[in-house]
């Protein structure tokens, strides 16, 4: 409503000016007589006086409702300021790492042989100790049968020699030879049974069969992957950190972990910090573990670690974008107020670290200073300003 009333006054004032101009033009016409022009002039004056009275009356009424009407607008450039005060400041650096499953292995048999049966398929979940595949053990079974036959005979011979030896019949050598033969065959049997057990491939831990590399009927060998088993419940992130941060990175320190490809962010503790610096790239490795109960994270995915390397409890902090630079150095515009007049004054400062778009000012700024953080590009040293809000 107030805006409409102000516009009405402006229009009326404009009309008065236009009316006066038309009156002047009319007075210059040569078609009417002098007496007629004088009469027109008096009429126009009366109309003008009437309009002026109406304007004055409206101004009086509006001023009663809005005392600020007609006041001059405050001069100066509109700016936004921040009143600086000691606050906590932290600096972080970021490194990229790679995701790995804590438990992941390429499973191969301990004993070579032909694959007789693969008992799982890709995607199967298995528990620790589950039989995954078996190899052909027919040769071992034949040898085991032969050994069992030999043990049976050696046991009979030994039993007879033992009875004779108890009766002091026969020689001690015969008794010992029979005993040694029996024990030797028994040891061979144990070894053969252990070799046969190696032909059974079992899961060393609970997990998911991610990939099967070989088929039934093919030859398997130690060190040659038969299948890949992975436990997705817990993942680890390994990253290489520059040796410049070797004093700042500590075990058990909390870090922010971001997985951009999976849209997941979390916090975790540094589990391990390497004691060796890689001479080829001057870095040391760190490891962070994160739970993955729902299996969202995948091995070999990219992770970003945000690690804190510096903090101050009572820092003076300003937006980094508000800091200008010239030949003398970095500066800020600070509000100086005298007799109700506000001016932007250039103040040279010494800056420290920047983190998250905020910069720590170490010298040149005092607690309580009002720093221009919006409109800094529009002001110069000494300009009059108005503070937004």
- The pLDDT tens digits for 85-96 are 999 999 999 999
Q: Is residue 193 part of a domain?
A: yes
Distance of CA 128 to the CA centre of its chain: 34
Q: Is residue 99 part of a domain?
A: no
pLDDT tens for residues 13-69? Answer: 555 555 555 555 455 545 678 888 888 888 888 888 888 888 888 878 877 777 666
Count of structural domains, the chain: 4
Does residue 292 sit in the same domain as residue 342? Answer: no
The model scores a pTM over 0.95: no
Q: Is residue 101 part of a domain?
A: no
Domain boundary among 259, 286, 311: 311
Does residue 269 sit in the same domain as residue 283? Answer: yes
Does residue 202 sit in the same domain as residue 116? Answer: yes
Does residue 305 sit in the same domain as residue 353? Answer: no
Domain boundary among 311, 339, 368: 311
Structural domain for 172, as ranges: 108-212
pLDDT tens for residues 98-129? Answer: 999 999 999 999 888 889 999 999 999 999 99
- Predicted local confidence at residue 23, as pLDDT: 52
Does residue 84 sit in the same domain as residue 125? Answer: no
Q: Is residue 219 part of a domain?
A: no
- Predicted local confidence at residue 279, as pLDDT: 95
Q: Is residue 220 part of a domain?
A: no
pLDDT tens for residues 307-321? Answer: 999 999 999 999 999
CA distance 22 to 37: 13
- Predicted local confidence at residue 82, as pLDDT: 95
Does residue 236 sit in the same domain as residue 171? Answer: no
- Predicted local confidence at residue 170, as pLDDT: 74
Does residue 296 sit in the same domain as residue 271? Answer: yes
Does residue 235 sit in the same domain as residue 290? Answer: yes
Does residue 112 sit in the same domain as residue 206? Answer: yes
Does residue 160 sit in the same domain as residue 244? Answer: no
> Is the model's pLDDT at 323 over the cut of 50?
yes
Q: Is residue 223 part of a domain?
A: no
On whether the CB atoms of residues 379 and 372 are closer than 8 A, the answer is yes
CATH number at residue 339: 2.40.420.20
The whole-chain average pLDDT of the chain stands at 87
DSSP-derived letter for residue 71 is P
Does residue 246 sit in the same domain as residue 306? Answer: yes
Q: Is residue 43 part of a domain?
A: yes
Q: Is residue 367 part of a domain?
A: yes
Which tokens in the block code for residue 180?
């040694």
CA distance 122 to 232: 14
pLDDT tens for residues 125-161? Answer: 999 999 999 998 887 778 888 888 888 888 888 888 8
Domain boundary among 212, 240, 271: 212
Question: H-helix or E-strand containing 157?
Answer: helix 138-166
Average pLDDT in the 171-186 region? 85
Does residue 129 sit in the same domain as residue 204? Answer: yes
């Amino acid at each position: 409503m107030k805006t409409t009333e102000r516009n009405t006054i402006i229009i009326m004032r404009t009309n008065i000016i236009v009316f006066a101009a038309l009156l002047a033009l009319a007075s210059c016409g040569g078609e009417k007589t002098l007496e007629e022009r004088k009469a027109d002039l008096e009429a126009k004056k009366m109309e003008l006086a009437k309009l002026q009275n109406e304007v004055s009356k409206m101004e009086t009424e509006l001023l009663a409702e809005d005392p600020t009407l007609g006041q001059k607008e405050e001069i100066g450039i509109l700016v936004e300021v921040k009143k600086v005060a000691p606050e906590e400041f932290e600096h972080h650096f970021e490194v990229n790492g790679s995701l790995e499953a804590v438990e992941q292995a390429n499973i191969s048999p301990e004993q070579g042989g032909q694959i007789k049966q693969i008992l799982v398929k890709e995607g199967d979940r298995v528990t620790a100790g589950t039989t995954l595949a078996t190899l052909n053990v027919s040769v071992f079974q034949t040898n085991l049968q032969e050994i069992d036959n030999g043990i049976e005979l050696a046991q009979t011979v030994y039993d007879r020699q033992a009875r004779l030896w108890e009766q002091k019949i026969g020689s001690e050598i015969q008794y010992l030879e029979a005993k040694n033969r029996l024990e030797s065959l028994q040891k061979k049997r144990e070894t053969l049974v252990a070799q046969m057990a190696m032909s059974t491939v079992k899961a060393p831990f609970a997990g998911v069969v991610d990939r099967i590399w070989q088929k039934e009927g093919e030859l398997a060998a130690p060190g040659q992957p038969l299948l890949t088993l992975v436990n997705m419940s817990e993942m680890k992130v390994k990253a290489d950190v520059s040796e410049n941060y070797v004093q700042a990175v500590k075990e058990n320190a909390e870090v922010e972990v971001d997985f951009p490809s999976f849209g997941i962010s979390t916090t975790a503790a540094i589990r391990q910090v390497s004691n060796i610096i890689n001479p080829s790239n001057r870095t040391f490795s760190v490891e962070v573990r994160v739970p993955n109960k729902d299996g969202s994270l995948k091995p070999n995915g990219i992770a970003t670690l945000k690690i804190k390397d510096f903090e101050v409890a009572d820092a003076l902090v300003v937006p980094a974008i508000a800091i200008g630079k010239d030949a003398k150095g970095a500066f800020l515009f600070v509000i100086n107020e005298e007799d109700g007049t506000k001016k932007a004054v250039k103040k040279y400062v010494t800056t420290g670290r920047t983190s998250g778009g905020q910069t720590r000012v170490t010298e040149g700024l005092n607690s309580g200073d009002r720093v221009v953080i919006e409109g800094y590009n529009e002001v110069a040293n000494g300009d009059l300003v108005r503070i937004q809000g």
